[in-house]
Homo-oligomer: A and B are copies of this chain.
Amino acid sequence: MLHPKSIAIVGASSDANKLNGRPFHFLRRDGYKGKLYPVNPKYAEIDGVRCYPDVESLPEAPDLAIIAVSQKLAAAAIAALGQKGTPVAIIFSSGYSELGAEGAKLEQELLQTAQSNNIRICGPNNLGLINAFENVTATFSQYADKTPIPGPVAFASQSGAFGTGIAALARGRGIGLGYFINTGNQADITLIDALIEIADDPRITVLSAYIEGLRDGTELIHLAHKALDLEKPLIITKVGRKAAGARAAASHTGSLAGEDRVFDGVLRQHGVIRARNEEHMLDLVSAFTCCPIPKGNGLAMITQSGGAGVLMADRAEELGLEVPIPTPETQAKLQSVIPSFGSASNPIDVTGQFLAEPKILSESVKIALDDPGIHCCIVWLQLLHGSADLLVDVFKGIQTGVDKPFIVCWLEAPESALRQLRDAGICVIGATERAVDAIAGLVQYSQARARHDGQPPPPSAHKNEQEPEQAMAIPSVRAAKLLEDMGIPLASAELATGPDAAREIADRFGYPVAIKIESPDILHKTEAGGVRLGLTDGESVVVASQEIMTAARAYNPAAKIEGLIVQRMVKPATELVLGVRRDPVFGPVVMVGLGGIFVEILEDVAFAAAPVTARQAELMLNGLQGRAILDGVRGKPPVDLHALIQVICDLSRFALAHPEIVELDLNPVFADSNGIIAVDWMMMCGTPNTTNRKAVP
């Protein structure tokens, strides 16, 4: 699909302004070297190229076909192409799943036609693709109204219109897109499939994508690992951040597993840089294209404006970048080149004097970047249209003299200077905070690469193809056994058949104890009056047990009561929540968060896909808003991080080992410097691929 030696255009038109005429026009205009086969019974030739009445009459099976006919004719064309031996087709035709259930059915039929005729499809409802290296302008996108300029960036988009806009913005910034591909409805070939292929092209150094949703998250993880292995940054903009936020608003933690939070967690976990919007993505793409990867997070800012320096320092602090004070040696060197009314601190103010003496600027940048604590640099300036050529030379000189990343932030720069700097491979960003955001992306990626251990991606996890219609609670003691087998620490619990048995267990445990009702039909034990805490002697255990059973029977007379859980009381400590979910995209995911109001009000939880490594677990914890609580506050001891990380990893192993567990909540989990212990747990089991659900045997 990406490097076809011949292309058929089914439904080609001679009108270059029409959707079905555009690809032929573009391919010819851009000097596509392969063979072109327009197919349309209306024409004998188009623009001097022989036109074929149908697929059957083509002289060979083309490497790639473009389907530019209406939805009614598309399936037949696909079948004919498959029969002919064409391996892949791009389907422009619309009228499929984008229109709802009926269209989705047509799309499914189209896919089946393709599969039974042994042809892969890209689309339908697709704008096509561009391989600018080999002049494959197989698209009707407005972006191709001008000949695409190749470059080291691949950009794949699920949206046609927004993708076209982003590609055009990239061109406007002088970013060369080696590949631009739209995957439309993704009936077969996905955006991720395409990027996995493209990643191997040595001409591509930066991968980027605009995503609205994924069906298979393991594919994305595979791509992310491949990109890290190949040292090619992968930048993704995904929309739908807040729909999940809304779903997550309910106070029950079970509802927190909103897709977008999971998506965000998995991107972090696997070293993908997430961009907020198209502008942020292009800033990042531009920085990654031009800059080496920084070896630390120390940022120097070199300006001729104190104000811009403060604004950048504000932003740097927000994004977790360091703004180090240069070493005394560096400061001394800076002072020897900067005028006395400048500043050798950071932000470094070189004053306007550098226009008279350009060395002031170039030397300052080099001196700053020589400082061991400084890993990257932003040079800020504005206007100076009269000195544009001089400045371009200064920056080119810097570029050849340094091996750490630097970004030029130039407000209202002259167009010619921008062009020259971009041609020289220098990253220029025209807004103050955005320059810092781009640096932060470089640093984030450098940290991700340092964490990457080169291990192969985890094998595809069992993924539940559909939501379980019904899930059953697993009895507490049985659930405890499963968790303990995986090494997850729980407060000891035993099932008693009645009040006297409860007393015996409690005597053995030692006091105080808690007593809880055990029934598969009572999920909310407290609500049912089925929980008593802090019982200090045998007599109160017996009384409490009797009261609990009475209350439970009153709460739900039909409930099957299996007995009473006797549990050793645990000293309250820092409260956490841990859990496992089955995400429809990523399969088993692990959740960790701070308990109480942190999870209820701030929804302060982090997700990662199983399996989770220790480094990834640490990253999850560092992403929590209330992270500082783990270090101990209000006189509480710090949490044993090592133990907590181990529990997260163990939970992820548990999630992989037990595909039948659709939901697990450990809440609360008490954590202090002596370790981690789950005090209450709720485990739900479902067998999503059958309608017959049972508790785990």
Contact = CB atoms under 8 A, between A and B. Distances in A.
Interface of A: 94-95, 98-99, 142-143, 145, 157-166, 168-169, 172, 210, 212, 237, 239-243, 245-246, 251, 276-279, 303-308, 310-311, 313-315, 317-318, 341, 352, 382-386, 411-412, 431-434, 596-598, 600-602, 625-626, 628-629, 633-634
Contacts of A341: 94-95, 98-99
Nearest to A125: B341
B169 A313 contact: no
Nearest to A282: B431
Contact of A313 (B237, B242, B597, B633): B242
A310 B633 contact: no
Contacts of A95: 341
A628 B625 CA distance: 17
A224 B107 CA distance: 59
A161 B382 contact: yes
Contacts of A626: 597, 601-602
Contacts of A600: 633-634
Contacts of A384: 142
Interface centre among A160, A277, A313 (most CB of B within 10 A): A277
A647 to B, nearest CB: 22
B277 A162 contact: no
A307 B212 contact: yes
B242 A314 contact: yes
A355 to B, nearest CB: 11
A436 to B, nearest CB: 10
Nearest to A169: B412
Contacts of A431: 277-279
Contacts of A239: 307, 310-311, 314
A163 to B, nearest CB: 8
B596 A634 contact: yes
Contacts of A596: 634
Contacts of A314: 239-243
A21 to B, nearest CB: 15
Contact of A305 (B94, B165, B313): B165
6 contacts: A162-B305, A162-B307, A165-B412, A239-B310, A277-B311, A600-B633
Nearest to A636: B597
A496 B237 CA distance: 66
B433 A279 contact: yes
Contacts of A169: 411-412
A383 B168 contact: yes
A634 B317 contact: no
Interface centre among A94, A239, A241, A434 (most CB of B within 10 A): A239
B597 A629 contact: yes
Contacts of A160: 305
A26 B248 CA distance: 59
A411 B161 CA distance: 11
A210 B305 CA distance: 13
A382 B277 contact: no
A304 B142 CA distance: 14
Contacts of A242: 313-314, 317-318
Given A212-B310, A314-B241, A411-B169, A162 B382 contact: yes
A168 to B, nearest CB: 4
Nearest to A411: B165
Given A276-B433, A313-B242, A433-B277, A251 B633 contact: yes
A380 B597 CA distance: 39
A242 B311 CA distance: 9
A158 B277 contact: no
Contacts of A99: 341
Contacts of A278: 311, 411, 431-432
A317 B633 contact: no
Nearest to A278: B432
Nearest to A434: B279
Interface centre among A145, A303, A307, A434 (most CB of B within 10 A): A307
Contacts of A634: 596-597, 600
Contacts of A165: 305, 308, 382-383, 411-412
A161 B409 CA distance: 14
Contacts of A159: 305-308
A532 to B, nearest CB: 17
Contacts of A411: 165-166, 168-169, 278
B633 A277 contact: no
Interface centre among A95, A245, A411 (most CB of B within 10 A): A411
Contacts of A308: 159, 161-162, 165
A601 B602 CA distance: 13
Nearest to A103: B341
B240 A310 contact: yes
Given A99-B341, A278-B411, 11 more contacts: A95-B341, A142-B384, A161-B304, A161-B382, A164-B382, A165-B305, A165-B382, A242-B317, A245-B317, A279-B431, A600-B634
A559 B240 CA distance: 62
A98 B307 CA distance: 13
A303 B143 CA distance: 18
Nearest to A168: B412
Interface centre among A95, A161, A317, A386 (most CB of B within 10 A): A161
A175 to B, nearest CB: 12
Q: Report, nearest first, the 7 A-B pairs whose CB atoms are least far apart.
A: A165-B382, A159-B307, A161-B305, A162-B307, A165-B411, A239-B310, A242-B317
Nearest to A340: B99
A290 to B, nearest CB: 21
A458 to B, nearest CB: 30
Nearest to A171: B412
B161 A597 contact: no
Contacts of A304: 161
Contacts of A161: 303-305, 307-308, 352, 382
Interface centre among A169, A412, A602, A625 (most CB of B within 10 A): A412
Nearest to A627: B601
A600 B632 CA distance: 11
A407 to B, nearest CB: 16
A94 B163 CA distance: 50
Contact of A382 (B168, B241, B385): B168
Contacts of A279: 431-434
Nearest to A239: B310
A531 B241 CA distance: 49
Given A165-B383, A317-B245, A431-B278, A412 B172 contact: yes
